[in-house]
Amino acid sequence: MLYWDYAAAAPPYEEVVQTMEQVMKQHFANPSSLHRAGTEAEKLIKRAREVCAAALGVQAQEIIFTSGATESNNLAIKGAALQYQSRGRHIVTTELEHPSVYESCLQLQKLGWEITFVAPDSTGVVEPSRIAAAVRPDTVLVSVMHVNNEIGTVQPLKEIGQQVKAVNRRTLFHVDGVQGYGKLETRLKEWQADLYSLSAHKVRGPRGTGILYVREGVMLFPLLTGGSQEMGNRAGTENVPNIVASAKAVRMSGERRQELSSRIMPLKNRLEQYISGIPELVLNSREDGVPHIVHFSYPGMKGEVMARRLEELGMGVATRSACSSRLAEPSRILLSMGRGAAAALGGIRISLGDNHTEEDVIQLEQALLTAVRSLKIAEGGVK
């Protein structure tokens, strides 16, 4: 089967697997222990922190390791809200955000925080002036993702950061960078980002490790307490093999970003052009979106039906983000863009990786056409 779900999880680099195996065998000690084996493990974490910081253009002490981007997003949003609630209890975000951001905001809303959800335009891009207009003197945090994980649209973070800071200098700016890093340039200083989240397994690293950049001077209320690991921001014994392997994946993905983009952008453009030529399908991703995501709908046909038919034809695709793929409800993202329920129920996400070739795309195109034709003529037009 051809795998077209890199946005959910990318296969780890062989070098990452080898590094993880080596560290698991040779550096199994607790990095908080004072003996030599423990201090050697601690040094590995220190070096991994430096590698990630260099990849992002920040300082090593500004990097926190977590269990994944979901925890990084939760810590950024709830940690900032709880730490700075004396400034206010208002947060601004968008209707496009990943569930780990969106649900964190809803949870805070239940606890008394006021949340402003800004809608995107019909193409899935949020106007910076609309974000800035929602910022108030009591706005503690603004959270906007770099790239939408479902349809691949890229948000104008530089303009958003400038306008937010112009309205309220003390408002923190958080960016969920999970789908952007390794595909697009990451410019934290230019964006004026105070917090930035990453996930290792999206950039060909291991599952179970996330990264959170916390600008020097920003304090977070820790969600996990116990030990003093991660500079007091996150208690718990560090996963040394995962952290070291994740740092390697972050470095390699950053170094290979331009090569990856130049390889897969033509494949994405070809695929979008092909899908646009199938009358039953509606393209939701933009030509100027992230290089690795193509998204379309088959209005009136449930996404999981289309996904199963494509899997029968040897193609592994997604109906939406992996965190929401088992939900039977319409896509929150497509609804926020003004798509009808029929289109929002029929979304399919195809995400490319550096292993894909033009021949793979040709096979996918043939499978798409076969799937549409077979579903169209199926008895009752399977709904």
Q: What is the pLDDT of residues 19-55, one digit of tens each?
A: 999 999 999 999 999 999 999 999 999 999 999 999 9
What is the distance between the alpha carbons of residues 220 and 232, in angstroms, rounded to a whole number?
Answer: 9
Task: Please state the separation of Cα 257 from the chain's center in Å.
Answer: 16
Architecture of domain 14-255 in CATH? 3-Layer(aba) Sandwich (3.40)
Residue position matching structure tokens 């609804």: 335
pLDDT of residue 333: 96
Say which of 29, 60, 323, 341 is annotated catalytic. Answer: 323
Three-state helix/strand/coil letters over the chain? CEECECCCCCCCCHHHHHHHHHHHHHCCCCCCCCCHHHHHHHHHHHHHHHHHHHHHCCCHHHEEEECCHHHHHHHHHHHHHHHCCCCCCEEEEECCCCHHHHHHHHHHHHCCCEEEEECCCCCCCCCHHHHHHHCCCCEEEEEEECECCCCCCECCHHHHHHHHHHHCCCCEEEEECCCCECCECCCHHHHCCCEEEEEHHHHCCCCCCEEEEECCCCCCCCCCCCCCCHHHCCCCCCCHHHHHHHHHHHHHHHHCHHHHHHHHHHHHHHHHHHHHCCCCCEECCCCCCCCCEEEEECCCCCHHHHHHHHHHCCEECECCCHHHCCCCCCCHHHHHCCCCHHHHHCEEEEECCCCCCHHHHHHHHHHHHHHHHHHHHCHHHCC
- Work out the average pLDDT over 357-382: 87
Return the sign of the alpha-carbon dihedral for residues 341, 343, 344, 345. Answer: positive
pLDDT of residue 329: 85
Intervals of CATH 3.90.1150.10 along the chain? 2-9+257-378
pLDDT of residue 180: 98
Intervals of CATH 3.40.640.10 along the chain? 14-255
- pLDDT higher than 70, residue 321: no
Percent residues over pLDDT 90 in the chain: 94
Kindly give, in sequence order, each residue whose CB lies less than 8 Å from that of residue 276, ignoring residues fewer than 6 positions away. Answer: 283
Between the alpha carbon of residue 221 and those of residues 32, 77, 169, 201, the distances in Å are 22, 10, 20, 26
pLDDT of residue 376: 86
- Work out the average pLDDT over 254-274: 97
Q: Hey, which residues does 281 pair with through a beta bridge? A: none
Q: What is the CA radius of gyration of the chain?
A: 21
State the pLDDT confidence band at 326, using cuts at 50, 70 and 90.
low
> Tokens for 230?
């991660």
Kindly give, in sequence order, each residue whose CB lies less than 8 Å from that of residue 331, ignoring residues fewer than 6 positions away. Answer: 150, 320, 324, 339, 344, 345, 347
State the pLDDT confidence band at 382, using cuts at 50, 70 and 90.
very low
Percent residues over pLDDT 70 in the chain: 96
- Work out the average pLDDT over 56-74: 98
CA angle at 235 for the pair 230 and 238, rounded to the nearest 5°: 65
Q: What is the CATH number of domain 2-9+257-378?
A: 3.90.1150.10
Chain mean pLDDT for the chain: 95
CA angle at 208 for the pair 100 and 351, rounded to the nearest 5°: 65
pLDDT of residue 380: 55
pLDDT of residue 113: 98
- Work out the average pLDDT over 224-233: 91
What is the distance between the alpha carbons of residues 112 and 107, in angstroms, rounded to a whole number?
Answer: 9
State the pLDDT confidence band at 383, using cuts at 50, 70 and 90.
very low
Kindly give, in sequence order, each residue whose CB lies less than 8 Å from that of residue 30, ignoring residues fewer than 6 positions away. Answer: 38, 41, 237
Question: Is 323 an active-site residue?
Answer: yes
Of 157, 181, 184, 309, the closest CA to residue 251 belongs to 181
How many CA atoms, within 13 angstroms, populate the side-chain half-sphere of residue 325? 18
pLDDT of residue 323: 54
pLDDT of residue 381: 45
The per-residue pLDDT for range 98-152, each reduced to its tens digit, is 999 999 999 999 999 999 999 999 999 999 999 999 999 999 999 999 999 999 9
pLDDT of residue 320: 64
- pLDDT higher than 80, residue 327: no
